[in-house]
Structure 1
Amino acid sequence: MSDTTTVGPDTAGIGRTRTPTPFRRLLAVETRKLFDTRSGKIMTAVMVVLTVGAIAGRGLYAGPRLEVLIGTAGLSLGTLLPVLGILTVTGEWSHRTALTTFTLEPRRGRVLAAKCLPPLIAAVAASAFAILVAVPVTAAVSAVRHVPADWDLTPVALLGWTAANVLVVAMGLALGMLLLNAPAAIVICLSAPALWSAVARIGSVGETLAGWLDLNTTAGPLMEGHMTGGDVARLAASVSFWIVVPLATGTARVIRKEIG
Protein backbone atom coordinates (compact mmCIF):
# COMPACT_ATOMS: atom_id res chain seq x y z
CA MET A 1 0.00 0.00 0.00
CA SER A 2 1.39 3.37 -0.94
CA ASP A 3 2.18 5.90 1.79
CA THR A 4 1.36 8.81 -0.47
CA THR A 5 -1.05 11.23 1.18
CA THR A 6 -3.54 13.10 -0.92
CA VAL A 7 -3.27 16.79 -0.28
CA GLY A 8 -6.50 18.76 -0.59
CA PRO A 9 -6.97 22.43 -1.17
CA ASP A 10 -5.08 24.74 1.12
CA THR A 11 -7.50 25.77 3.81
CA ALA A 12 -4.97 27.34 6.12
CA GLY A 13 -6.17 30.81 5.26
CA ILE A 14 -9.83 30.05 5.90
CA GLY A 15 -11.03 31.70 9.05
CA ARG A 16 -8.00 33.95 9.23
CA THR A 17 -9.00 37.36 10.51
CA ARG A 18 -8.25 40.11 8.06
CA THR A 19 -6.29 42.98 9.52
CA PRO A 20 -8.65 45.96 9.96
CA THR A 21 -7.93 48.99 7.82
CA PRO A 22 -6.49 51.71 10.07
CA PHE A 23 -8.75 54.73 10.35
CA ARG A 24 -5.89 57.05 9.45
CA ARG A 25 -5.57 55.22 6.12
CA LEU A 26 -9.29 55.60 5.46
CA LEU A 27 -9.02 59.28 6.32
CA ALA A 28 -6.05 59.73 3.99
CA VAL A 29 -7.89 57.98 1.15
CA GLU A 30 -11.05 60.04 1.58
CA THR A 31 -9.04 63.26 1.81
CA ARG A 32 -7.29 62.38 -1.43
CA LYS A 33 -10.66 61.63 -3.05
CA LEU A 34 -11.92 65.04 -1.97
CA PHE A 35 -9.24 66.92 -3.89
CA ASP A 36 -8.07 64.45 -6.56
CA THR A 37 -11.32 64.32 -8.50
CA ARG A 38 -12.03 66.76 -11.30
CA SER A 39 -15.00 68.25 -9.46
CA GLY A 40 -12.94 68.61 -6.28
CA LYS A 41 -10.13 70.41 -8.08
CA ILE A 42 -12.54 72.73 -9.88
CA MET A 43 -14.44 73.51 -6.68
CA THR A 44 -11.22 74.27 -4.80
CA ALA A 45 -9.88 76.51 -7.56
CA VAL A 46 -13.17 78.40 -7.90
CA MET A 47 -13.37 78.82 -4.14
CA VAL A 48 -9.88 80.31 -3.95
CA VAL A 49 -10.47 82.68 -6.88
CA LEU A 50 -13.87 83.83 -5.62
CA THR A 51 -12.61 84.36 -2.08
CA VAL A 52 -9.67 86.50 -3.19
CA GLY A 53 -11.73 88.36 -5.79
CA ALA A 54 -14.64 89.04 -3.45
CA ILE A 55 -12.41 90.33 -0.66
CA ALA A 56 -10.35 92.55 -2.97
CA GLY A 57 -13.41 93.90 -4.78
CA ARG A 58 -15.35 94.61 -1.61
CA GLY A 59 -12.29 96.25 -0.10
CA LEU A 60 -12.07 98.75 -2.96
CA TYR A 61 -15.80 99.46 -2.69
CA ALA A 62 -16.48 99.40 1.06
CA GLY A 63 -13.10 100.52 2.36
CA PRO A 64 -10.64 98.90 4.76
CA ARG A 65 -13.10 97.23 7.15
CA LEU A 66 -11.87 93.81 8.20
CA GLU A 67 -15.24 92.55 9.46
CA VAL A 68 -16.99 93.45 6.20
CA LEU A 69 -14.30 91.86 4.05
CA ILE A 70 -14.35 88.59 5.98
CA GLY A 71 -18.14 88.55 5.85
CA THR A 72 -17.94 88.99 2.07
CA ALA A 73 -15.74 85.90 1.82
CA GLY A 74 -18.44 84.00 3.68
CA LEU A 75 -20.81 84.42 0.72
CA SER A 76 -18.68 82.27 -1.56
CA LEU A 77 -17.64 79.85 1.18
CA GLY A 78 -21.21 79.41 2.36
CA THR A 79 -22.24 78.47 -1.17
CA LEU A 80 -19.38 76.23 -2.30
CA LEU A 81 -18.31 74.47 0.91
CA PRO A 82 -21.63 72.64 1.46
CA VAL A 83 -21.62 71.56 -2.19
CA LEU A 84 -18.16 70.09 -1.64
CA GLY A 85 -19.51 68.17 1.34
CA ILE A 86 -22.50 66.90 -0.63
CA LEU A 87 -20.32 65.65 -3.47
CA THR A 88 -18.08 63.89 -0.96
CA VAL A 89 -20.80 61.68 0.51
CA THR A 90 -22.76 61.11 -2.71
CA GLY A 91 -19.78 60.39 -4.97
CA GLU A 92 -19.66 56.68 -4.17
CA TRP A 93 -23.26 56.27 -5.33
CA SER A 94 -23.12 58.51 -8.39
CA HIS A 95 -19.92 56.83 -9.62
CA ARG A 96 -21.11 53.35 -8.54
CA THR A 97 -17.98 52.67 -6.48
CA ALA A 98 -19.79 51.99 -3.21
CA LEU A 99 -19.57 48.22 -3.70
CA THR A 100 -15.78 48.37 -3.99
CA THR A 101 -15.39 50.76 -1.07
CA PHE A 102 -17.60 48.82 1.32
CA THR A 103 -16.09 45.51 0.26
CA LEU A 104 -12.62 46.75 1.15
CA GLU A 105 -13.95 48.19 4.43
CA PRO A 106 -17.22 46.48 5.45
CA ARG A 107 -17.61 48.66 8.54
CA ARG A 108 -19.51 51.41 6.81
CA GLY A 109 -19.68 53.68 9.82
CA ARG A 110 -15.90 54.11 9.77
CA VAL A 111 -16.00 54.92 6.05
CA LEU A 112 -18.70 57.54 6.59
CA ALA A 113 -16.73 59.11 9.45
CA ALA A 114 -13.65 59.24 7.22
CA LYS A 115 -15.72 60.90 4.49
CA CYS A 116 -17.18 63.56 6.77
CA LEU A 117 -14.00 64.75 8.46
CA PRO A 118 -12.09 66.13 5.40
CA PRO A 119 -14.86 68.56 4.32
CA LEU A 120 -15.21 69.81 7.91
CA ILE A 121 -11.45 70.33 8.15
CA ALA A 122 -11.53 72.00 4.73
CA ALA A 123 -14.12 74.46 6.08
CA VAL A 124 -11.74 75.47 8.87
CA ALA A 125 -8.84 75.77 6.40
CA ALA A 126 -10.94 77.84 3.98
CA SER A 127 -12.02 80.15 6.80
CA ALA A 128 -8.40 80.62 7.88
CA PHE A 129 -7.42 81.32 4.25
CA ALA A 130 -10.13 83.99 3.94
CA ILE A 131 -8.92 85.66 7.12
CA LEU A 132 -5.30 85.59 5.92
CA VAL A 133 -6.40 87.23 2.66
CA ALA A 134 -8.65 89.82 4.30
CA VAL A 135 -6.00 91.12 6.71
CA PRO A 136 -3.42 92.27 4.08
CA VAL A 137 -6.20 93.50 1.77
CA THR A 138 -7.52 95.67 4.60
CA ALA A 139 -4.04 97.10 5.17
CA ALA A 140 -3.47 97.62 1.43
CA VAL A 141 -6.81 99.39 0.89
CA SER A 142 -6.09 101.60 3.89
CA ALA A 143 -2.75 102.60 2.40
CA VAL A 144 -4.13 103.21 -1.09
CA ARG A 145 -7.15 105.23 0.02
CA HIS A 146 -5.26 106.99 2.83
CA VAL A 147 -7.93 106.21 5.41
CA PRO A 148 -7.53 104.41 8.72
CA ALA A 149 -8.30 100.71 8.69
CA ASP A 150 -11.10 99.33 10.83
CA TRP A 151 -9.74 96.26 12.64
CA ASP A 152 -12.69 96.00 15.02
CA LEU A 153 -13.22 92.25 15.02
CA THR A 154 -12.87 90.09 18.11
CA PRO A 155 -11.29 86.61 18.19
CA VAL A 156 -14.61 85.26 19.48
CA ALA A 157 -16.37 86.58 16.38
CA LEU A 158 -13.71 85.00 14.14
CA LEU A 159 -14.17 81.66 15.88
CA GLY A 160 -17.95 81.99 15.59
CA TRP A 161 -17.71 82.80 11.87
CA THR A 162 -15.48 79.77 11.33
CA ALA A 163 -17.87 77.59 13.34
CA ALA A 164 -20.77 78.81 11.20
CA ASN A 165 -18.91 77.73 8.05
CA VAL A 166 -18.35 74.31 9.61
CA LEU A 167 -22.07 74.04 10.40
CA VAL A 168 -23.00 74.87 6.81
CA VAL A 169 -20.70 72.10 5.58
CA ALA A 170 -22.19 69.71 8.13
CA MET A 171 -25.63 70.60 6.76
CA GLY A 172 -24.45 69.67 3.26
CA LEU A 173 -23.02 66.39 4.52
CA ALA A 174 -26.26 65.57 6.34
CA LEU A 175 -28.48 66.28 3.32
CA GLY A 176 -26.14 64.38 1.02
CA MET A 177 -26.12 61.38 3.36
CA LEU A 178 -29.90 61.45 3.71
CA LEU A 179 -30.75 61.75 0.01
CA LEU A 180 -27.70 60.10 -1.62
CA ASN A 181 -28.51 62.31 -4.60
CA ALA A 182 -26.19 65.24 -5.25
CA PRO A 183 -28.49 67.45 -7.41
CA ALA A 184 -31.41 67.17 -4.99
CA ALA A 185 -29.25 67.84 -1.93
CA ILE A 186 -27.56 70.84 -3.59
CA VAL A 187 -30.89 72.38 -4.62
CA ILE A 188 -32.32 72.03 -1.10
CA CYS A 189 -29.16 73.32 0.55
CA LEU A 190 -28.77 76.39 -1.66
CA SER A 191 -32.47 77.27 -1.82
CA ALA A 192 -33.11 76.92 1.93
CA PRO A 193 -32.27 80.57 2.82
CA ALA A 194 -34.66 81.91 0.17
CA LEU A 195 -37.39 79.49 1.23
CA TRP A 196 -37.07 80.42 4.90
CA SER A 197 -37.14 84.10 3.95
CA ALA A 198 -40.44 83.48 2.18
CA VAL A 199 -41.78 81.52 5.17
CA ALA A 200 -40.86 84.39 7.51
CA ARG A 201 -43.03 86.77 5.47
CA ILE A 202 -46.13 84.61 5.77
CA GLY A 203 -46.98 85.78 9.26
CA SER A 204 -46.06 85.46 12.90
CA VAL A 205 -46.05 81.66 12.76
CA GLY A 206 -43.79 81.64 9.73
CA GLU A 207 -41.50 84.21 11.33
CA THR A 208 -41.24 82.07 14.47
CA LEU A 209 -40.46 78.94 12.46
CA ALA A 210 -37.77 80.74 10.47
CA GLY A 211 -36.34 82.20 13.67
CA TRP A 212 -35.90 78.72 15.10
CA LEU A 213 -35.19 76.52 12.08
CA ASP A 214 -33.34 78.71 9.57
CA LEU A 215 -29.68 77.86 10.18
CA ASN A 216 -28.49 81.05 8.47
CA THR A 217 -30.58 83.13 10.87
CA THR A 218 -29.78 81.25 14.06
CA ALA A 219 -26.05 81.26 13.23
CA GLY A 220 -26.04 85.08 13.01
CA PRO A 221 -25.34 85.70 16.73
CA LEU A 222 -22.64 83.01 16.59
CA MET A 223 -20.84 84.88 13.82
CA GLU A 224 -21.18 88.13 15.73
CA GLY A 225 -19.68 86.58 18.86
CA HIS A 226 -22.63 87.49 21.07
CA MET A 227 -24.73 84.48 22.09
CA THR A 228 -27.51 84.62 24.66
CA GLY A 229 -29.34 81.67 26.16
CA GLY A 230 -32.16 82.09 23.65
CA ASP A 231 -29.68 82.28 20.77
CA VAL A 232 -28.11 78.99 21.89
CA ALA A 233 -31.54 77.32 22.06
CA ARG A 234 -32.50 78.51 18.57
CA LEU A 235 -29.14 77.44 17.13
CA ALA A 236 -29.50 74.02 18.75
CA ALA A 237 -32.98 73.63 17.25
CA SER A 238 -31.85 74.49 13.73
CA VAL A 239 -28.76 72.28 14.03
CA SER A 240 -30.95 69.38 15.15
CA PHE A 241 -33.36 69.99 12.27
CA TRP A 242 -30.77 70.39 9.49
CA ILE A 243 -27.81 68.35 10.74
CA VAL A 244 -28.41 65.92 13.60
CA VAL A 245 -31.64 64.28 12.42
CA PRO A 246 -30.75 64.05 8.69
CA LEU A 247 -27.23 62.85 9.47
CA ALA A 248 -28.43 60.14 11.85
CA THR A 249 -31.16 59.03 9.44
CA GLY A 250 -28.80 59.09 6.47
CA THR A 251 -26.14 57.14 8.33
CA ALA A 252 -28.66 54.44 9.25
CA ARG A 253 -29.82 54.35 5.63
CA VAL A 254 -26.32 53.93 4.22
CA ILE A 255 -25.38 51.25 6.75
CA ARG A 256 -28.48 49.21 5.90
CA LYS A 257 -28.62 49.95 2.19
CA GLU A 258 -28.29 47.01 -0.18
CA ILE A 259 -25.58 47.52 -2.79
CA GLY A 260 -26.22 45.89 -6.12
Structure 2
Amino acid sequence: MSTTAHTELIRGAAEGGPADSAGPRERFTAPSLARLTKVELRKAADTRAGRWLLISAVLIAAVVAVARALSGDVADRTFAGSLELTMLPLGILLPVIGILLVTSEWSQRTALTTFSLVPHRDRVAGSKILAALVLGLAAAVISVAMAAVGNIVGIVATEADGSWSMSASTLGQALLGQELNLLMGVGFGLLLMSPALAIVVFFALPTVFTILGSMISSLEKTFEWIDPNSAFDPLTDGSMHGDDWAKLLVCSLLWVGLPLAAGLWRLMRREVK
Protein backbone atom coordinates (compact mmCIF):
# COMPACT_ATOMS: atom_id res chain seq x y z
CA MET A 1 0.00 0.00 0.00
CA SER A 2 1.25 3.45 -0.79
CA THR A 3 0.15 7.02 -0.22
CA THR A 4 -0.09 9.43 -3.12
CA ALA A 5 2.26 12.36 -2.64
CA HIS A 6 1.65 15.61 -4.46
CA THR A 7 4.42 18.25 -4.54
CA GLU A 8 3.24 21.84 -4.32
CA LEU A 9 5.67 24.76 -4.79
CA ILE A 10 5.29 27.68 -2.37
CA ARG A 11 5.33 30.73 -4.56
CA GLY A 12 6.03 34.35 -3.60
CA ALA A 13 3.58 37.15 -3.14
CA ALA A 14 1.28 37.98 -6.01
CA GLU A 15 3.06 41.22 -6.95
CA GLY A 16 6.68 40.10 -6.95
CA GLY A 17 6.98 39.63 -3.21
CA PRO A 18 9.80 37.53 -1.79
CA ALA A 19 9.54 33.82 -2.41
CA ASP A 20 9.15 31.50 0.52
CA SER A 21 12.58 30.12 1.27
CA ALA A 22 11.07 26.87 2.50
CA GLY A 23 11.18 25.45 -1.05
CA PRO A 24 8.95 22.59 -2.21
CA ARG A 25 6.52 21.13 0.28
CA GLU A 26 4.88 17.70 0.02
CA ARG A 27 1.21 17.28 0.71
CA PHE A 28 0.05 13.72 1.36
CA THR A 29 -3.48 12.63 0.48
CA ALA A 30 -5.02 9.35 1.51
CA PRO A 31 -5.62 6.75 -1.22
CA SER A 32 -9.23 6.30 -2.27
CA LEU A 33 -11.33 3.40 -1.03
CA ALA A 34 -11.49 2.05 -4.58
CA ARG A 35 -7.70 2.01 -4.80
CA LEU A 36 -7.38 0.28 -1.43
CA THR A 37 -9.94 -2.31 -2.52
CA LYS A 38 -7.96 -2.95 -5.70
CA VAL A 39 -4.82 -3.46 -3.61
CA GLU A 40 -6.63 -5.93 -1.34
CA LEU A 41 -7.89 -7.89 -4.35
CA ARG A 42 -4.33 -8.12 -5.66
CA LYS A 43 -3.11 -9.26 -2.24
CA ALA A 44 -5.71 -12.05 -2.22
CA ALA A 45 -3.93 -13.64 -5.20
CA ASP A 46 -0.37 -12.58 -4.36
CA THR A 47 0.29 -15.23 -1.72
CA ARG A 48 0.84 -18.84 -2.72
CA ALA A 49 -2.00 -20.02 -0.49
CA GLY A 50 -4.48 -17.48 -1.85
CA ARG A 51 -3.50 -18.10 -5.46
CA TRP A 52 -3.88 -21.87 -5.21
CA LEU A 53 -7.14 -21.60 -3.32
CA LEU A 54 -8.58 -19.49 -6.14
CA ILE A 55 -7.26 -21.84 -8.81
CA SER A 56 -8.51 -24.89 -6.92
CA ALA A 57 -11.97 -23.39 -6.49
CA VAL A 58 -12.31 -22.77 -10.25
CA LEU A 59 -10.98 -26.22 -11.19
CA ILE A 60 -13.22 -28.02 -8.70
CA ALA A 61 -16.26 -26.07 -9.93
CA ALA A 62 -15.44 -27.10 -13.51
CA VAL A 63 -15.02 -30.78 -12.57
CA VAL A 64 -18.25 -30.78 -10.56
CA ALA A 65 -20.18 -29.19 -13.45
CA VAL A 66 -18.96 -31.77 -15.98
CA ALA A 67 -19.52 -34.65 -13.54
CA ARG A 68 -23.07 -33.46 -12.95
CA ALA A 69 -23.67 -33.31 -16.70
CA LEU A 70 -22.51 -36.89 -17.26
CA SER A 71 -23.99 -38.65 -14.24
CA GLY A 72 -27.07 -38.78 -12.07
CA ASP A 73 -30.72 -38.64 -13.02
CA VAL A 74 -31.19 -37.40 -16.59
CA ALA A 75 -34.06 -35.13 -15.53
CA ASP A 76 -31.82 -33.38 -13.01
CA ARG A 77 -29.07 -32.56 -15.52
CA THR A 78 -30.11 -28.96 -15.99
CA PHE A 79 -28.49 -25.55 -15.74
CA ALA A 80 -30.08 -24.96 -12.33
CA GLY A 81 -28.89 -28.34 -11.06
CA SER A 82 -25.35 -27.71 -12.27
CA LEU A 83 -25.27 -24.24 -10.74
CA GLU A 84 -26.36 -25.56 -7.35
CA LEU A 85 -23.41 -27.96 -7.32
CA THR A 86 -20.79 -25.60 -8.75
CA MET A 87 -21.47 -23.08 -6.01
CA LEU A 88 -20.77 -25.62 -3.25
CA PRO A 89 -16.95 -25.83 -3.59
CA LEU A 90 -16.71 -22.08 -4.06
CA GLY A 91 -18.87 -21.58 -0.98
CA ILE A 92 -16.43 -23.70 1.03
CA LEU A 93 -13.14 -22.26 -0.24
CA LEU A 94 -14.03 -18.58 -0.61
CA PRO A 95 -14.56 -17.94 3.14
CA VAL A 96 -11.03 -19.29 3.68
CA ILE A 97 -9.74 -16.67 1.22
CA GLY A 98 -11.76 -14.05 3.10
CA ILE A 99 -10.16 -15.13 6.36
CA LEU A 100 -6.66 -14.94 4.85
CA LEU A 101 -7.52 -11.52 3.43
CA VAL A 102 -8.18 -9.97 6.84
CA THR A 103 -5.56 -11.88 8.84
CA SER A 104 -2.61 -11.43 6.47
CA GLU A 105 -1.37 -8.26 8.19
CA TRP A 106 -1.03 -10.13 11.48
CA SER A 107 0.21 -13.50 10.22
CA GLN A 108 2.83 -11.94 7.92
CA ARG A 109 3.70 -9.14 10.36
CA THR A 110 2.95 -6.36 7.88
CA ALA A 111 0.37 -4.58 10.07
CA LEU A 112 2.84 -1.87 11.09
CA THR A 113 3.59 -1.05 7.44
CA THR A 114 -0.07 -1.13 6.39
CA PHE A 115 -1.38 1.07 9.20
CA SER A 116 1.56 3.47 8.91
CA LEU A 117 0.76 4.10 5.25
CA VAL A 118 -3.01 4.21 5.90
CA PRO A 119 -3.51 5.29 9.54
CA HIS A 120 -7.30 5.12 9.31
CA ARG A 121 -7.93 1.48 10.15
CA ASP A 122 -11.61 1.73 9.28
CA ARG A 123 -10.64 2.47 5.66
CA VAL A 124 -8.38 -0.58 5.54
CA ALA A 125 -11.10 -2.78 7.05
CA GLY A 126 -13.70 -1.35 4.67
CA SER A 127 -11.51 -2.07 1.66
CA LYS A 128 -11.01 -5.67 2.81
CA ILE A 129 -14.76 -6.18 3.21
CA LEU A 130 -15.42 -4.66 -0.22
CA ALA A 131 -12.72 -6.85 -1.75
CA ALA A 132 -14.37 -9.91 -0.20
CA LEU A 133 -17.75 -8.91 -1.68
CA VAL A 134 -16.16 -8.46 -5.11
CA LEU A 135 -14.59 -11.92 -4.82
CA GLY A 136 -18.01 -13.34 -3.95
CA LEU A 137 -19.56 -11.71 -7.01
CA ALA A 138 -16.72 -13.00 -9.21
CA ALA A 139 -17.23 -16.49 -7.78
CA ALA A 140 -20.93 -16.33 -8.67
CA VAL A 141 -20.05 -15.36 -12.25
CA ILE A 142 -17.59 -18.27 -12.45
CA SER A 143 -20.23 -20.64 -11.07
CA VAL A 144 -22.71 -19.53 -13.72
CA ALA A 145 -20.09 -19.96 -16.46
CA MET A 146 -19.08 -23.45 -15.26
CA ALA A 147 -22.72 -24.49 -14.91
CA ALA A 148 -23.40 -23.32 -18.47
CA VAL A 149 -20.42 -25.33 -19.77
CA GLY A 150 -21.57 -28.39 -17.85
CA ASN A 151 -25.10 -28.06 -19.19
CA ILE A 152 -23.81 -27.84 -22.77
CA VAL A 153 -21.66 -30.94 -22.23
CA GLY A 154 -24.70 -32.78 -20.89
CA ILE A 155 -26.85 -31.80 -23.88
CA VAL A 156 -24.20 -32.79 -26.42
CA ALA A 157 -22.82 -35.95 -24.81
CA THR A 158 -25.92 -37.43 -23.17
CA GLU A 159 -29.70 -37.37 -23.28
CA ALA A 160 -29.82 -34.84 -20.48
CA ASP A 161 -32.84 -32.60 -20.05
CA GLY A 162 -30.58 -29.57 -20.60
CA SER A 163 -33.15 -27.03 -19.45
CA TRP A 164 -31.85 -23.47 -19.11
CA SER A 165 -34.82 -22.37 -17.04
CA MET A 166 -33.88 -20.53 -13.86
CA SER A 167 -35.63 -17.65 -12.12
CA ALA A 168 -33.88 -14.43 -11.18
CA SER A 169 -35.03 -15.02 -7.60
CA THR A 170 -33.20 -18.37 -7.43
CA LEU A 171 -30.02 -16.84 -8.82
CA GLY A 172 -30.27 -13.90 -6.42
CA GLN A 173 -30.71 -16.21 -3.43
CA ALA A 174 -27.65 -18.23 -4.46
CA LEU A 175 -25.58 -15.04 -4.73
CA LEU A 176 -26.84 -13.81 -1.35
CA GLY A 177 -25.86 -17.11 0.26
CA GLN A 178 -22.40 -16.88 -1.29
CA GLU A 179 -21.85 -13.35 -0.01
CA LEU A 180 -23.16 -14.08 3.50
CA ASN A 181 -20.91 -17.12 3.81
CA LEU A 182 -17.92 -15.07 2.66
CA LEU A 183 -18.70 -12.22 5.07
CA MET A 184 -19.02 -14.75 7.87
CA GLY A 185 -15.45 -15.87 7.16
CA VAL A 186 -14.27 -12.25 7.10
CA GLY A 187 -15.98 -11.64 10.44
CA PHE A 188 -14.26 -14.61 12.10
CA GLY A 189 -10.94 -13.50 10.61
CA LEU A 190 -11.30 -9.96 11.97
CA LEU A 191 -12.38 -11.22 15.37
CA LEU A 192 -9.69 -13.88 15.89
CA MET A 193 -6.88 -12.31 13.78
CA SER A 194 -5.23 -15.71 13.36
CA PRO A 195 -5.72 -17.58 10.06
CA ALA A 196 -5.42 -21.09 11.50
CA LEU A 197 -7.70 -20.42 14.48
CA ALA A 198 -10.27 -18.54 12.39
CA ILE A 199 -10.46 -21.33 9.78
CA VAL A 200 -10.92 -24.02 12.43
CA VAL A 201 -13.59 -22.05 14.31
CA PHE A 202 -15.38 -21.08 11.08
CA PHE A 203 -15.90 -24.73 10.09
CA ALA A 204 -16.17 -26.33 13.54
CA LEU A 205 -18.56 -24.01 15.39
CA PRO A 206 -21.50 -24.15 12.92
CA THR A 207 -21.04 -27.93 12.68
CA VAL A 208 -21.31 -28.20 16.46
CA PHE A 209 -24.55 -26.20 16.39
CA THR A 210 -25.98 -28.47 13.69
CA ILE A 211 -25.08 -31.62 15.65
CA LEU A 212 -26.54 -30.25 18.89
CA GLY A 213 -29.72 -29.26 17.09
CA SER A 214 -30.17 -32.78 15.73
CA MET A 215 -29.33 -34.48 19.04
CA ILE A 216 -31.48 -32.39 21.39
CA SER A 217 -35.00 -32.77 20.05
CA SER A 218 -36.49 -30.35 22.58
CA LEU A 219 -34.31 -27.55 21.18
CA GLU A 220 -34.79 -28.39 17.51
CA LYS A 221 -37.11 -25.45 16.85
CA THR A 222 -34.79 -23.06 18.69
CA PHE A 223 -31.73 -24.19 16.75
CA GLU A 224 -33.54 -23.49 13.48
CA TRP A 225 -33.17 -19.81 14.38
CA ILE A 226 -29.51 -19.90 15.43
CA ASP A 227 -27.98 -22.66 13.28
CA PRO A 228 -26.36 -21.03 10.20
CA ASN A 229 -26.33 -24.26 8.18
CA SER A 230 -30.10 -24.74 8.38
CA ALA A 231 -30.73 -21.02 7.77
CA PHE A 232 -28.36 -20.63 4.81
CA ASP A 233 -29.03 -23.97 3.07
CA PRO A 234 -32.34 -22.95 1.40
CA LEU A 235 -30.49 -20.13 -0.35
CA THR A 236 -28.39 -22.58 -2.37
CA ASP A 237 -31.39 -24.01 -4.23
CA GLY A 238 -33.60 -20.91 -4.09
CA SER A 239 -36.23 -22.53 -1.86
CA MET A 240 -36.58 -19.71 0.67
CA HIS A 241 -40.16 -19.14 1.78
CA GLY A 242 -42.25 -18.01 4.76
CA ASP A 243 -40.31 -17.63 8.00
CA ASP A 244 -37.09 -18.82 6.31
CA TRP A 245 -36.29 -15.15 5.71
CA ALA A 246 -36.76 -14.30 9.39
CA LYS A 247 -34.49 -17.19 10.39
CA LEU A 248 -31.92 -16.02 7.85
CA LEU A 249 -32.01 -12.51 9.29
CA VAL A 250 -31.49 -13.73 12.86
CA CYS A 251 -28.64 -16.06 11.88
CA SER A 252 -27.04 -13.34 9.74
CA LEU A 253 -27.03 -10.97 12.70
CA LEU A 254 -25.56 -13.64 15.00
CA TRP A 255 -23.00 -15.22 12.66
CA VAL A 256 -22.14 -12.35 10.30
CA GLY A 257 -23.05 -9.04 11.91
CA LEU A 258 -21.83 -9.81 15.44
CA PRO A 259 -18.38 -11.19 14.46
CA LEU A 260 -17.87 -8.30 12.02
CA ALA A 261 -18.79 -5.68 14.63
CA ALA A 262 -16.67 -7.30 17.35
CA GLY A 263 -13.79 -7.80 14.92
CA LEU A 264 -13.85 -4.16 13.80
CA TRP A 265 -13.95 -3.04 17.44
CA ARG A 266 -10.92 -5.19 18.21
CA LEU A 267 -9.08 -3.99 15.10
CA MET A 268 -9.50 -0.35 16.09
CA ARG A 269 -8.01 -0.96 19.54
CA ARG A 270 -5.34 -3.58 18.95
CA GLU A 271 -1.78 -2.42 19.43
CA VAL A 272 0.28 -2.67 16.25
CA LYS A 273 3.80 -4.07 16.75
TM-score in terms of structure 2 length: 0.84
- Find the partner of 2:251 among 238, 245, 254: 238
Q: Structure 1 residues 147 and 74 mapped into 2: Cα distance closer, same or farther (>3 Å)? A: closer
Aligned equivalent of 1:20: 30
- Code of the residue aligned with 1:97 in structure 2: it is T
Are 1:39 and 2:49 an aligned pair? yes
For residues 125-173 of structure 1, the C-alpha deviation after alignment (integer angstroms, 9 at most, x for no partner) is 1111111111232122122223432334322101111110111000000
Count of aligned positions: 250
- Find the partner of 1:132 among 126, 142, 145: 145
Q: Structure 1 residues 68 and 210 mapped into 2: Cα distance closer, same or farther (>3 Å)? A: farther
Q: Structure 1 residues 145 and 108 mapped into 2: Cα distance closer, same or farther (>3 Å)? A: same
For residues 82-106 of structure 1, the C-alpha deviation after alignment (integer angstroms, 9 at most, x for no partner) is 0000000000000000011001010
- Code of the residue aligned with 1:99 in structure 2: it is L
Are 1:181 and 2:191 an aligned pair? no
State the identity as a percent: 32
Are 1:173 and 1:247, in contact at CA under 8 Å, matched by a contact in 2? yes
- Code of the residue aligned with 1:90 in structure 2: it is T
Aligned equivalent of 2:70: 60
- Find the partner of 1:214 among 214, 222, 227: 227
Give me the whole-angstrom Cα distance separating, in 1, the residues matched to 2:218 and 2:135: 37
Q: Structure 1 residues 144 and 219 mapped into 2: Cα distance closer, same or farther (>3 Å)? A: same
* 1:154-233 matches, cutoff 5 A: 154-233=167-246
Are 1:76 and 2:89 an aligned pair? yes
Give me the whole-angstrom Cα distance separating, in 2, the residues matched to 1:194 and 1:19: 46
Give me the whole-angstrom Cα distance separating, in 1, the residues matched to 2:230 and 2:159: 36
- Find the partner of 1:49 among 50, 59, 64: 59
Q: Structure 1 residues 38 and 168 mapped into 2: Cα distance closer, same or farther (>3 Å)? A: same
- Code of the residue aligned with 2:210 in structure 1: it is S
- Code of the residue aligned with 2:71 in structure 1: it is Y
- Code of the residue aligned with 1:96 in structure 2: it is R
Q: Structure 1 residues 203 and 94 mapped into 2: Cα distance closer, same or farther (>3 Å)? A: same
Aligned equivalent of 2:13: none
Instruction: Kindly state the Cα deviation for residue 226 of structure 1 after the two structures are TM-superposed.
Output: 4.4
Give me the whole-angstrom Cα distance separating, in 2, the residues matched to 1:127 and 1:12: 49
Give me the whole-angstrom Cα distance separating, in 1, the residues matched to 2:118 and 2:179: 27
Are 1:107 and 2:117 an aligned pair? no
Are 2:91 and 2:181, in contact at CA under 8 Å, matched by a contact in 1? yes
Consecutive unaligned residues in structure 2, runs of 5 or more: 1-21
Q: Does 59-68 or 112-121 show the bigger shift?
A: 59-68
Are 2:210 and 2:229, in contact at CA under 8 Å, matched by a contact in 1? no
Instruction: Kindly state the Cα deviation for residue 175 of structure 1 after the two structures are TM-superposed.
Output: 0.3
SS at match of 1:18: strand
Q: Does 31-40 or 192-201 show the bigger shift?
A: 192-201
Instruction: Kindly state the Cα deviation for residue 12 of structure 1 after the two structures are TM-superposed.
Output: 9.1
Aligned equivalent of 2:6: none
Q: Structure 1 residues 150 and 210 mapped into 2: Cα distance closer, same or farther (>3 Å)? A: farther
Give me the whole-angstrom Cα distance separating, in 2, the residues matched to 1:228 and 1:99: 47
SS at match of 2:29: coil
For residues 185-222 of structure 1, the C-alpha deviation after alignment (integer angstroms, 9 at most, x for no partner) is 11122224432321122223432243112222112333
